Structure 1
């Protein structure tokens, strides 16, 4: 178990990263004397951004005594706008195209990838795409394939966003990009061309230690997702009574699960490095 750090000892820093499509906004939370030089990188969900992680990054940094980094994907949060339609392979593209820019700007040699929902898929692809740099993958409420339950949850949300107050809440975090953010999620997942999408190729390539966390009552995916993601070599943790957003519903428990797993996975990290 690592030494817990008071949150007042965490320093926050903002970054702007140039990309071919526009600037990305990133933020880091760094303990005064981190126990490891390997940071944890957060990938947000389909409607998310740094601000919507709330206090989770700071809590992670303090509990793990490790640097935590999050960024707003292009088109989200404080990053620049985009007007294009997401490609069918946008989850894999995020890891391949934008993660290297983040690592270069922040001088990251290796990392732990952690993502929520679609960001969990991006974290898995980060591990598959960068097997040397990525020391571990943690997915939270990630989707492994397109499930009827996922599509049903999106259709319910689509109706809810017809209410102006819900769009106003989205605009609070994404500004005038909110409409694009919403349709990038709904239109992509409900498109017929996306119906057979899955994470199988990334999961088959993944070699580092892997933890998948899922809420028992996740409205966007059944427990078939974490079981498929964990497969035969990953660890699966189902959080009883929890829905799709553990970082909001039970942040302390989520951090505790991550902390315990990372502590127990130290030997596995070393073995994975030796196997390479």
Structure 2
């Protein structure tokens, strides 16, 4: 596996310069497909562990892993600035395009694929809907297209765990400011203003192939999330993993590697025909 060490890239966002932690995985040609990894609500470059490198090596593709502002070693979120209910949309249509531009990535020049987990899956869906001609394919793991009671209940439990267990210490291994990372995510998800959030009306604009994977035992969402994607974007292939929770890439790594390799292999032989 060939991966560079994490680096920082500066972008302008929200009226200020922001440093974005990112890591390149050099396991494919520079003009071949690029797979961009979009982390979960409390994720970061390091929290993916070796999954991106293993998948990119399997595919023979380059990979790009990054930490969103406020996560990992990227510029922390100021504690006096709360996330707004459109925070996922802003990541998809402002931050991700700015990062790709800063790094010289152009989906018109090479096939650009996105792989997102949880909140990252939602960001991938929004980006693919908004920039349909720039995305060759999309893989989403346990994505959110709407807020469900099960999501709110589990996120409320996470708040209790952060206050009463060693969760803060564990997150501190991956984030330079674990409080900013945790409370930004937790507060907005539990806010009344976010309860009606939905991206369902955006989904029909997605034209690329979509693979949507969810665990049967996902504690953060029902299967209506992935089946809702397929209803709005019929080109979506849905896979439900039995005996699997919210993180298919951790719970059933080998099965997911096989599935993504098959899915992308069948759809990326000729980018012009995607």
* TM-score of the superposed pair, with normalisation by structure 1: 0.90
> In structure 1, which of residues 53, 59, 71 is the aligned counterpart of residue 54 of structure 2?
59
Please report how far the alpha carbon of residue 204 of structure 1 lies from its aligned counterpart in structure 2 after TM superposition. Answer: 2.1
Q: Deviations over 1:209-244 (max 9, x none)?
A: 111010110000111111001223211011111100
Number of equivalent positions? 262
**Equivalent in the alignment of 2:123:** 122
Please tell me whether residue 80 in structure 1 is matched to residue 75 in structure 2. yes
2:25 equivalent in structure 1: 29
1:168 and 2:164 are equivalent in the alignment: no
Displacement after TM superposition at 1:35 (Å)? 9.3
Distance in 2 (CA, whole Å) between partners of 1:36 and 1:210 is 22
Aligned-pair Cα RMSD in Å: 1.7
| TM-score using structure 2 length | 0.90
Q: Write the distance in 2 (CA, Å) between the matches of 1:168 and 1:62.
A: 32
Query: Match of 1:101?
Result: 98
Give, in angstroms, the shift of residue 135 of structure 1: 0.5
Q: Any idea what SS the aligned residue of 2:163 has?
A: coil
Change (3 A) 1:209 1:269: farther
**Runs of 5+ in structure 2 lacking a partner?**
none
Asked if 2 retains the 8 angstrom alpha-carbon contact of 1:35 and 1:65, the reply is no
Contact 2:23 2:66 in 1 (8 A): yes
Higher normalized helix content (fraction of residues): 1
1:243 matched to which residue of 2? 245
Deviation larger for 34-43 or 55-64: 34-43
- Match of 1:4? none
> Can you give the 5+ residue segments of structure 1 that lack an aligned partner in the other structure?
1-6
Matches of 1:247 and 1:116 in 2, distance apart? Answer: 9
1:48/1:201 Cα in 2 relative to 1: closer, same or farther (>3 Å)? same
